[in-house]
Chains A and B, each alone.
Chain A
């Protein structure tokens, strides 16, 4: 209770201090009013929390060394919240541990792809000319491939493993970020405050990272959120097809795949991972869409 109070106090004091702190407070208060952000963020926080707590929760191990054949295909109960799968493993535990994998893969992939995309996109948009030509060509090349197919091809070529999934998604996804940042850079570099900075003597690097990049953040945040959702989908699909993370590492896609033959007699093996997967993707999509509303009109509707 007191933690919440002091958090509120901090926010209130920030509200009047202007500058970046004021910006954050504005965003927070707008987000609070936006139902999509609230719902999305709630879902994400719950799932992330559970995923992080998985190692310390009192539940069965997702990858037991000793398999008891009697535990096979047990239905939902207090001991096994989500039942057990065809090998007798606790589905609930596997779902939580699978969340760790999916979230890790998704966030890392998007992070890498963001870094590559932002740097290349900014450079292309900012400098123009030959540099732009080359980078845009590369972007177009990667852009023409649907990210999933590209990831599939890469994963199949490189061999199925967690690291390769991250690599595959990063490579197939960076083009989107690059294209986005290039467009943002093209408009921002013409702004007068960039010219003013030049008049002060600023060099290209400084302008790119202190003026252009921060002003392009809004769409980036939106894209990143939606990208994570996308990445989770891709990862699950890859694992479902067998080219992703390999057993015994638990993964939702794998669980879906494995549970298919048992759909009638033991639907919980596929249903629970499926639903959680759905919720996670929904959560990130909602967050992304909501943030788009929170951030964008704020930029345009500033009172003069």
Chain B
């Protein structure tokens, strides 16, 4: 369950990590709704979220940030990629290197060195006691690693032995599948997924439609118990325990007991969001996706809601993924901030680095576009030229190049990858440092 606040912030355990997550939506055209293409709403997103932190995710409409939140919770299951939950770092690192190897090494060009790298990664993965895969499977796959090493060290060049290469890659696939089955949310079976759901929750943007208008507040908040069973192993009256817990939750979000029998339409937007928050907290989750939770609220109500979110995070050691298009709010709430553009993450930095040292031209433009409530800053907000492009036909090369002042030939042809420029700051731009 949730650890207490003090030991949570200090531990660096990765609570959630996505590896190469993708979500494609089919585009249908014509009378027969033929699938003519795909929208890459999320295109290879790899982020990791530490326990107890708030990761902010910003971007404009069409960038895919909402889809990321939904995909992590398997509401819109990803088309590809892996979502790891509570995985030991050593397993994750080994897995990521295996994936990289899988993408790089194609049959026909595999060398002995490559094969040995694969074998080593597998051994690390299964050699550690932290890896929770069944022992026999581990042994089996470690034996396979040995076999790979033998194949690699034989006299003839591995490059010429296609069949052996294929065999090695098969082992690689098996390993990936085993790990995925054990640790990845999007490879779990329904019953396991249901249990996991109790630990990851979501608060939606629109308070008016996220609450069933026919359910009383009590029913809304208590719905989780109806699905997963009563809060603790209740020896005595189960209903009593449930009611107690619901009362507690209501108080924690700042509502009162006589609100419990009312219907959603009797509440204001801010109060509705509190109800949604109480619902999310009922099952004592570790991780909450906040999908534009305050965008529909007035400024003063927003302030109350954000303060409440922070307080609850400190109290229960929660981990947040805070999705928003409002950079000021994200910057206020987050420890680290990721910027998305057309389905990709183009920059990721700690919050204090973010403002002072934003590297990607899009991030800089985003920061410059924010209306500052202070007329002393009489800068002319330029905004960026051009329109926000549609994700159906993203530009070739760097996706931002049509709107970027610094774009050159490299930007137009090759896609920049995320590069670590120190202090935990990642940026995907050939021209970083150019300002």
Contacts and interface: CB of A to CB of B under 8 A. Distances in A.
Interface residues of A, number: 26
Contact of A198 (B75, B218, B228, B283): B75
A200 B261 contact: no
B354 interface: no
A197 B223 contact: yes
A199 B73 contact: yes
Contacts of B262: 18-19, 22
B350 interface: no
A297 interface: no
A196 B202 contact: yes
Given A192-B204, A196-B276, A198-B75, A302 B265 contact: yes
B302 interface: no
B277 to A, nearest CB: 12
Contact of B204 (A195, A211, A215, A304): A195
A17 B223 contact: no
B214 A202 contact: no
Nearest to A199: B202
Interface residues of B, number: 36
Given A199-B202, A200-B223, A201-B224, A20 B197 contact: no
Contacts, number: 79
B359 interface: no
Nearest to A302: B265
A203 B193 CA distance: 11
A19 B212 CA distance: 12
B204 A202 contact: no
A200 B283 contact: yes
Nearest to A206: B227
Interface in B256-305: 261-263, 265-266, 268-269, 276, 279, 283
A211 B227 CA distance: 13
Contacts of B269: 304
B433 to A, nearest CB: 41
A214 interface: yes
B216 interface: yes
A199 B209 contact: no
Given A20-B216, A214-B214, A215-B212, A200 B263 contact: no
Contacts of B261: 17-19
B209 A192 contact: yes
A136 to B, nearest CB: 15
Contact of A195 (B75, B216, B227): B75
B165 interface: no
Interface string A160-186: 000000000000000000000000000
Nearest to B225: A200
A193 B211 contact: yes
Nearest to B207: A192
Contacts of A200: 197-198, 201, 223-224, 227-228, 279, 283
B212 A193 contact: yes
Interface in A1-53: 17-20, 22-23
B214 A191 contact: no
Contact of A19 (B201, B209, B216, B268): B216
Question: A18, A198, A215 — which one has the most chain B CB atoms within 10 A of its CB?
Answer: A18
Q: Which 10 A-B pairs have the closest CB atoms?
A: A18-B261, A19-B216, A201-B197, A18-B262, A192-B210, A302-B265, A193-B212, A192-B209, A201-B194, A19-B261
Interface of B: 73, 75, 194-195, 197-198, 200-202, 204, 206, 208-216, 218, 223-224, 226-228, 261-263, 265-266, 268-269, 276, 279, 283
Interface of A: 17-20, 22-23, 191-193, 195-203, 206, 211, 214-215, 299, 302-304
19 contacts: A18-B216, A19-B262, A22-B262, A23-B214, A193-B209, A193-B215, A196-B210, A199-B75, A200-B197, A200-B227, A200-B283, A201-B197, A201-B198, A201-B228, A202-B223, A206-B227, A214-B214, A304-B208, A304-B269
Given A192-B206, A193-B209, A196-B202, 6 more contacts: A23-B263, A192-B204, A196-B204, A200-B279, A201-B194, A206-B226
